[in-house]
Chains A and B, each alone.
Chain A
Amino acid sequence: MIRMRPGLTGPLTVGAGALLALTLAPYTAHSVTLWVVYGLLALSFTFVWGHGGIFSLGQAAFFGIGGYAYGVAGINLVPSTGESLSSLLIAALVAAAVAALLGYFVFYGDVGDVYLAVITIATTLVLLTFFASTSDSTYRIGNALLGGYNGMVGIPGLVLPGGQRLTANGVLAVVVLIAGGVAIGIAVLLRRPFGRVLAGIRENEVRTQLLGYEVRARKLGAFVIGGFVAGLAGALYAAWGNFINPQVFSLQQASLVAIWTLVGGRRSIPGAFAGAFAVQALSDYLGGVTEGAVIPAVLGAILLVVVLFLPEGVLHPLRERVLSAVRKGTDLDLGVAESDPDPEAAFGRDATPASRVRTVDVQKRFGGLRVLRGVTLDVAPNEVRTVIGPNGAGKSTFFGLLTGRHRPDAGEILLDGVRLNRLRPEKRARLGLGIKTQVPSIYPELSVAENVWIAAYGAGPDAEKRVAEVLAGLRLTGKAQLPAGALAHGEQQWLEIGMVLVRRPRVVLLDEPTAGMTRAETSRYVELIAVLARSATVLVVEHDMEFVRDLGAPVTMLHEGTVFAEGSIAELRADDRVLDVYLGRAKADA
């Protein structure tokens, strides 16, 4: 159902490329080597941004660090080792280490997306200034002079073990093999669980966190890999030209990386190379026939055209044409409405003891506003409890305290006696808390099967089997390969509940689960909750009173941040004070 292994296309393409490299004219081979190196740099950005959703403008910085590190390592080591592959590896590792350091502060500091872009570009420019000011001969590491604005010279080229010198064609072939190997490695990684969860983080970070994944560590991991690849590209660049200067840290170089990737398509691995080739070939051509000053203007125009008309890159229309030719004939039945979901088949389990949820006098204020003045609640294992209240009663804030979105100012939140107060959402999820938010929170661009798989993978073995069961019960098997965003609203709601329940939570929190649902869908939901309660404690925040009545569960009513009334829905209906609150009368007393 979910493809884990790439085909042979990648290795064959790389092999063919390496062979082709040996047939080019030496001067052409020399130019093309640079394009491949730039393609590798573009690939690092495609990976961190296109696949990881991390808009890092620092790839040029890691490229430059890789280049300088290769220079230092190569100048000092190659004379004794007689090969330069170890220096390449050292350079890439140095760049990865710098990425790890920078990434740690950025991701663990919970810096927002825009600030991440600003911080990474600022780091790049700081490096530009630093390396430009190292002209003094005291700036040396071993035999390597950093060289200030003029850069570092005398960097050894590629030398294979055995020490034989390579021709220009040989260098190109080796660079193609290295870059191709990295590209295949990244393609494989993206199909592995790491890549799938990364796609989940990119598509919907909150949902991924609520499924129990430590988002920060995974983003840091992706960032470090991106730094490694960019550093490797930088090392190859320094080996190719036998020199490096601070211009690699320039604003122009940093923006070129984004241009290559955008032209090639932000998710496309071959596209990273195609983008770099196309843009560099055009720049070289323009540099030949004009003064060269026109190049930035032309590149800018290309960028605009690509962003406006080819947002998926230049290779995308081509790929679509091939795919649609392949699809023709295979009849995918998209229009057929399958029968209603079957909660019993999807989630029915033997009765198991669930967890007890308690809150003791939890309080929360935002600025001067006391939203929760002390809520005490005790929900027994396998109980269903509904929380209601008029606008502004504090329902959403209370829900946010349970999920870990907010932290209480005072009071206790307990799950089977374990204090949750300050735990992050992913930790709560791993303790058995399943959370369904109000707006369907899914991964719209991933397939339906991938959506459920990401949820299932983090929660024990047999992920594939549980995915199949849940999809069958939700009657979504026929749509398993569709992007989840293409499902109808009601189906998306069910898909999300499937993602929550495939993890077999011991407590399920539902925030207005029937918002936007039809009456028929709502009554299926009542059945679902009955099935759920056999193996989980269920807490529903809801304001659809018909649904609350159909559910027939005990009700806790919040008002002005505290528990106003508790009892059956019939008892609350009979209580005139409750009606007064709903009609806005009680406010006059406040």
Chain B
Amino acid sequence: MLEVEGLHAGYGRTAVLHGMTLSVPAGSRTAVLGRNGVGKSTLLKTLIGLVPATGGRILVDGADVTGHPAHRRARSGIAYVPQGRDIFPDLSVLDNLRVADRTGRLEQVFDEFPVLREKRHAAGGSLSGGQQQILALGRALMTGPRLLLLDEPSEGIQPSIVDQIAGAVRRMNDEHGLTVLLVEQNLEFAAGVCDRALIVDKGEVVRSVRTADLLADRDMQHEYLGV
């Protein structure tokens, strides 16, 4: 589904990704873990095209999208849910979803997330943090993606909604074959959603492990995720 070969990217002269290589099979759920500042969010931004790649290649189903602008990547089936959610606060829930509507999936998204139907006339900004996260997820699903990029969806959200989001992501994967690439700080959440984790350090993928193994291995947690 997604192949990344020797990807370099950064901001101005600050290089963040130093030749990152990874592979995400179709229909898989993969987590990207690592400490602050190692390049996890930059990886997602480079994949969707918000940060230009300065070297390497990004292949989606074998097609090279490295030079494509973000809107073309979105149309080709990649959806990105940014950290901090970035919903449109002054638009209603319905309009937030309609903005992304190209495939007529409104009812499907409402069925998946009944809370959005219930709040459809409320302004996006008036929702709670967890509801906003669900809205951002729903909006991403409106585009009918094949690959979903999620950046720290559990950040600052109460545990019950975190579980709900984990369940929804798993279901989208099981039922619709949606491929998931999840960046997280919260190890339990990541392990709850994904079976495999790529561990990133200093702009490179340093390990690929089963999340169950990582959860059980405190030494590995210390080495890559702790202080």
Contacts and interface: CB of A to CB of B under 8 A. Distances in A.
Interface of A: 388, 390-392, 439-440, 488-489, 492, 512, 515-516, 519, 543-545, 548, 555, 557, 569, 572-573, 578-579, 582-585, 587-588
A512 B37 contact: yes
Contacts of B225: 579, 582-583
B16 A573 contact: no
B83 to A, nearest CB: 9
Contact of B221 (A388, A515, A543, A583): A583
Interface stretch (B21-29, B60-68, B183-191): B183-191
B37 A573 contact: no
A543 B14 contact: no
Contacts of A439: 12, 14
- In this complex, the member of A543, A555, A557, A584 whose beta carbon has the largest number of chain B beta carbons within 10 angstroms is A584
B37 A544 contact: yes
Contacts of B37: 512, 515, 543-544
A584 B227 contact: no
B16 A545 contact: no
Given A579-B218, A584-B185, A543 B36 contact: yes
Contact of B226 (A489, A515, A516, A579): A579
B50 interface: no
A391 B14 contact: no
**Looking at B10, B35, B159, B189, which has the most chain A CB atoms within 10 Å of its CB?**
B35
B14 A582 contact: no
Contact of B188 (A489, A582, A585): A585
B14 A489 contact: yes
A439 B36 CA distance: 16
A545 B222 CA distance: 11
7 contacts: A390-B185, A392-B155, A489-B15, A516-B15, A557-B227, A573-B227, A582-B227
A362 B13 CA distance: 35
A391 B187 contact: no
A515 B185 contact: no
A492 to B, nearest CB: 7
Interface in B154-196: 154-156, 159, 184-189
A548 B37 CA distance: 14
Q: Which 10 A-B pairs have the closest CB atoms?
A: A584-B186, A516-B14, A489-B13, A583-B187, A543-B36, A579-B226, A584-B185, A582-B226, A572-B227, A543-B37
Interface string B78-117: 0000000000000000000000000000000000000000
Contacts of B154: 584
Contacts of A582: 35, 185, 225-227
A391 B185 contact: yes
Nearest to A569: B227
A492 B13 contact: yes
Given A516-B13, A545-B35, A579-B225, 12 more contacts: A390-B185, A391-B155, A391-B185, A392-B156, A512-B37, A516-B10, A579-B227, A582-B227, A583-B188, A583-B225, A584-B184, A587-B186
A470 B225 CA distance: 38
A515 B225 CA distance: 18
Nearest to B224: A545
Given A515-B14, A515-B37, A573-B227, A579 B221 contact: yes
A583 B223 CA distance: 12
A439 B13 CA distance: 10
A512 B36 CA distance: 11
Contacts of A392: 155-156
A492 B185 CA distance: 31
Given A569-B227, A578-B226, A584-B189, A543 B35 contact: yes
Given A489-B13, A572-B227, A585 B159 contact: no
Contacts of B187: 583-585
A440 B11 CA distance: 12
Interface string B184-227: 11111100000000000010000000000000001001100111
A555 B227 CA distance: 10
A359 B69 CA distance: 47
Contact of A579 (B36, B189, B202, B222): B222
Nearest to A545: B227
Nearest to A487: B13
A582 B226 CA distance: 6
Interface string B131-169: 000000000000000000000001110010000000000
Contact of A583 (B10, B13, B15, B186): B186
Given A391-B185, A392-B156, A543-B35, A583 B14 contact: no
A486 to B, nearest CB: 10
Given A390-B36, A587-B186, A573 B222 contact: yes
A256 B155 CA distance: 53
B76 to A, nearest CB: 31
Contacts of B184: 584
A392 B185 CA distance: 12
Contacts of A579: 218, 221-222, 225-227
A397 to B, nearest CB: 15
